[in-house]
Amino acid sequence: MTTRHLVVGCGVAGMTAAQNIRKLDQSAEITVLTDEPYPYYSRIRLIDFLSGQLKPESLFLKKEAWYADNRIKLLTNTAATKVDAAARTVSTSAGATLSYDRLLLATGGVPFVPPLPGSDLKGVFALRTMEDGIKIVEYAKNHKRIVVVGGGLLGLEAANNLLKGGADATVVEMFPRLLPRQMDKEGAETLKAHMERTGMKFILGVKPKMFQGGESVNAVVLEDGRRVECDMALVSAGVRPNAALAAKLGLKIEKGVLVDDGMRTEIENVFAAGDLIQHKTVFYGIWSASEKQGEVAGINMAGGAAVYGGTPMSNTLKVAGVSLFSAGEVDAEGKYESVVQRTESEYKKIVISGGVVIGAILYSDVRLRLKMTDAIASKKDVSGVMDKLRSWNTDW
């Protein structure tokens, strides 16, 4: 008997699940719904899109023929509006009712926009979808003074790419340092100095109070009274689960929809993965975690027995063209022993507790990233090689 699999969401979690279902079950019926007009694309590269130098199709991750070859039915511009778990059906915005044997909710996340006065003004944007990116690029062609609210990874990369597109970019961050989750004070200072040399401006340690303007935004007013004039604003203040459909279904939601190690929800034959979910106590919100969760979900939907054991909270990425690796405990408060090396353009730090490596930051020179990842994951005891660590001898 053919098993009907229905996947709601065409991001990395949903499409990885679909691929793994097909690998294990050649006869399965696989349908993927997306409320967007585009097929599977790289949300990571949406940030690069803001430079105005890329076409939407350059972000597509699968050619059109791939869907036919793998017998995956993709329904674009089709939102799932309701799930009837008893009848095992999903109602869609197109007026259809689709039946399933196993359902995966992979609706992803949505940008968190603080409820500030003026956030609905023309020219205030958040970036989640290709459509968002297209609107931002188009608006930025004639609105060059841009304030980016948020000095995290996405905020900095957004500002950097808008700068490449000819904008004058100012980043407002409520923490006193950039990348508060990935960097300590010294590392953030090194990063800030580099980005200032590219022309970026920063206002740190103060929250935005409101967006100001008539029909369109013309300033961001800060809580300390300062007024930062702008032609447009981009809010990059984190991601929240897109959990409206899951809430209608009655699923348990904390930081995200609760799942077990097999990506199962508490409702039989309903799975969930990606930025929608919380595994144990963790909401990840990163591509690598969503990809692995999608793999586990797909295998188990096809009758396998895969287990998700978590994803290391590490990042290897480019910030304004410079490589950054950050993993584990970065020890911004200086509670632990650490080994640090800093120059004008580089920053390296290894954090140690009880002789064990618990975190690392590598900015610019990231050649030790695999060694650091392994050391953190294996709780490597380095108490006997501290002299080598202090001289950054990699033979340990």
- Does 223 reside within a domain? yes
Exposed (0-12), middle (13-18) or buried (19+): which is 233, by Cβ within 10 Å?
Answer: buried
Residue 307 within a domain = no
pTM of the model: 0.89
Q: Are residues 177 and 93 in the same domain?
A: no
Residue 395: inside a domain: no
Given a contact cutoff of 8 angstroms between Cβ atoms, the answer to whether 281 and 310 are in contact is no
User: Are residues 287 and 319 both part of a single domain?
Assistant: no
Q: 101 and 245: one domain?
A: yes
Say yes or no: 243 and 323 in one domain: no
Query: How far is Cα 167 from Cα 156, in angstroms, rounded to an integer?
Result: 14
Residue pair 212/218 in contact (Cβ under 8 Å)? The answer is yes
Q: Is 326 domain-assigned?
A: yes
Residue 24: which domain range?
Answer: 4-110+239-301
Shared-domain flag, residues 269 and 206: no
Same domain, 19 and 40: yes
Here the CATH number for the domain that contains residue 332 is 3.30.390.30
Does residue 116 belong to any structural domain of this protein? Answer: no
Residues 89 and 133 in one domain: no
What's the CATH code of the domain at 192? 3.50.50.60
Q: What are the pLDDT tens digits along the chain (396 aa)?
A: 899 999 999 999 999 999 999 999 999 999 999 999 999 999 989 999 999 999 999 999 999 999 999 999 999 999 999 999 999 999 999 999 999 999 999 999 999 999 999 999 999 999 999 999 999 999 999 999 999 999 988 899 999 999 999 999 999 999 999 998 889 999 999 999 999 999 999 999 999 999 999 999 999 999 999 999 999 999 999 889 999 999 999 999 999 999 999 999 999 999 999 999 999 999 998 899 999 999 999 999 999 999 999 987 766 777 778 899 998 899 998 999 999 999 988 999 999 999 999 999 999 999 999 999 889 989 989 988 888 888 888 787
Residue 115 is assigned to a structural domain of this protein: no
The verdict on 142 and 213 lying in the same domain is yes
The alpha carbon torsion through 192, 193, 197, 201 (nearest 10 deg) reads 40
Beginning with the edge strand found earlier in the chain, give each strand of the sheet holding 97-99 in spatial order.
80-84, 89-92, 97-99
Q: Single out the residue in 209, 235, 261 at which a domain terminates.
A: 235
- What is residue 355's predicted lDDT score, i.e. its pLDDT? 93
| Tally of domains within the chain | 3
Tokens of 329: 């405990």
Q: Is residue 396, in this structure, part of any structural domain at all?
A: no
Strands 29-33 and 277-279: unpaired
Whether 140 is covered by a domain: the verdict is yes
| pLDDT score recorded for residue 314 | 65
Structural domain ending residue among the three candidates 216, 235, 254: 235
If asked whether residues 144 and 93 sit together in one domain, one would say: no
